[in-house]
Amino acid sequence: MPSRSHEALLLLFRNCPKLAPQLMRESLGVKLPHHSSVREQSVDFTEALPTEYRADLVIQLDGELNSKQGPVAALVVEIQLRRDPQKRFTWPVYVATLRARLKCEAHVLVVTPSEKVAAWCRKPISLGGASSVHPLVLGPNAIPVVQTPDAARRTPELGVLSVMAHAPRQDAEQSARMALAALQGLAPLDTERGRLYSDMVLSQLGIAAKAALEEHMETEGYELQSDWAKGHYARGVAEGVKRGQAEGVKRGRAEGIAEARKKDLRNIFEARGLPLSETQRERILACRDSDVLEQWIRASVTARSVDDVIGSGD
C-alpha cells in the first residue's frame, strides 16, 4: 500500500499535470516537443501482457504532429521513496508500451525526496546490446526553491513541492520563509485542494519553524486570506504548542529532579562534616545531569572527601 508521503507527492502532479513537463524543462533541461495542452492518461500498461503493470501517473502532451492533432510526448511520473530493484524492469515496459500506444516519444520521470535514491534511479537501465533506458530524475537538489508568493501563485503545486523537498533540510528561519511564500501562493485556492495543500506545507515544519513562521507573519503584516487557511494554520500551531508544552513539562520534571539531587548531595556532605569549596559548590549547582548527580550521591555516602566524589575543581 502506498505511503502517505508517496500519495502526497503524487497528488501534486496529478492535480497539476503541467508541473511534470515544466520541471523537466526548467530543472532537467529536457527539450520537449511544442505542445498546446497537457492531460492525464491511463496508467494501465497491461495491454496483452499476462502481468499487470500500472504506473503512478501518465501525462500526455498534445499538439500538432505531422500536421495532425494528437500526442507529441508522454511522461510516466513515478514517485520513488526508496530503492526498488523491480522498477528497473518495469520502467522500460512503461516507456516501450506508451511509445507504441501513442506513437510518440516517451519518458520516465522519477520524483524522489532522497538524493541517495535519486542517484540510484539515474543509473541507465541496460536492455541488452546497445539499448538502454535513461530515467529522468527529480531529486531534492533539482527541485527549485520557491521563496516568493508570486512564484507560488503561478504554480501552487510547485510551491508545496518546494517546501516538501527543502524545508526539512533547512534551518527554522529558512523553512518558515519558504512555507510563508507557499501559503501566500495558496490564497486563491479556497477549495478542498487548498486545504489539503496547506496541511501538506505545515506538516513539513518542526516546532521551531512554526514559531518562526508565526513571527514572520506578524512582522510582515501577512494575514491568511481564507477561513480554511486560518483554521488549518491555527490547528498546526496549536499542535506544535501542545508538543512544546509536553516537552516543557518533561524538561521541567527533569530539572526538578536534578535540583532535588543537588540539595541531597549538599546535605550529605554537610551531615558527614565534609566542607565544600566555593568552586565545588558552583560545580554542583551547574550540573544538570540527573544521572551524574545520582552517581555523586552514591559515592558521597562512603567517600573520604569531597574531592573523591567531584574533584577539587581547581
pLDDT digit of tens for each residue in the chain (314 aa)?
456 778 888 888 888 889 999 999 999 998 888 888 888 876 565 544 444 457 788 889 988 655 557 888 999 999 999 999 999 999 999 999 889 988 899 999 999 989 999 999 999 999 988 889 999 999 999 999 988 888 888 888 999 999 988 888 888 888 888 888 888 888 777 567 777 888 888 888 887 887 788 777 777 666 655 454 556 556 655 565 556 555 655 666 667 777 878 888 888 888 788 888 888 888 888 888 888 888 888 888 788 888 888 876 55
Bridge partner residues of 79 (DSSP): 111
Contact 77, 20 (CB under 8 A): yes
Contact 313, 284 (CB under 8 A): no
Name beta bridge partners: 37.
62
Let me know the angle formed at the C-alpha of 125 by 61 and 131, rounded to the nearest 5 degrees: 85
86: which 3 cell numbers? 523491480
- Per the CB < 8 A criterion, the answer to whether 58 and 74 are in contact is yes
Indicate left, alpha or beta for 108 from its phi (over 0: left) and psi (-120 to 50: alpha). beta
What gap in Å lies between CA 168 and CA 175, rounded to an integer? 7
CA distance 101 to 188: 38
Using the structure block, give the residue that is written with the C-alpha cell 574531592. 307
C-alpha–C-alpha distance, residues 204 and 210, integer Å: 10
Of 163, 157, 121, 155, the C-alpha closest to 138 is: 121
Query: What cell numbers appear for 107 in the block?
Result: 519518458
- pLDDT tens string 232-241: 556 655 565 5
**CA nearest 98: which of 139, 40, 50, 137?**
40
Global model pTM greater than 0.85: no
Calpha distance 162→81 (Å, rounded): 16
Note the pLDDT tens digit of each residue in 100-114: 988 899 999 999 989
Residues across the chain: 314
The CA R_g of the chain, rounded to the nearest whole Å, is 29
